[in-house]
């Protein structure tokens, strides 16, 4: 898996809340620290129990820093991203 795969919500680029005009112009946003967040999502039930499947914010600190909002242990938003022109 690429590092960006976990932090890119399954619903596609528009869910990153960047301006619709940028999305329509072919600019996509990809999150970072995905491998770190994927691991955290896997072990979260060990620390939070059933609450792990609620709304949780986790942080990646070291070699960059970012936050990731999780719901049901899936990424719904991230503070770090790269916009890439695809057109």
Q: Is 3 a catalytic site residue? A: yes
Q: What DSSP assignment string belongs to 12-55?
A: -GGGG---HHHHHTTEEEEES-HHHHHHHHHHHHHHHGGGGGSE
* List 1, 3, 54, 81, catalytic entry: 3
Active-site amino acid positions: 3
């Amino acid at each position: 898996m690429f590092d960006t795969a976990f932090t890119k919500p399954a619903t596609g680029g528009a869910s990153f809340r960047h301006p619709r005009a940028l999305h329509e112009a072919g600019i996509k946003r990809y999150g970072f620290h995905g491998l770190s967040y994927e691991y955290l999502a896997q072990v979260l039930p060990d620390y939070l129990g059933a609450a792990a499947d609620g709304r949780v914010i986790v942080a990646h600190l070291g070699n960059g820093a970012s936050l990731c909002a999780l719901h049901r242990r899936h990424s719904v938003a991230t503070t770090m991203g790269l916009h890439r022109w695809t057109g």
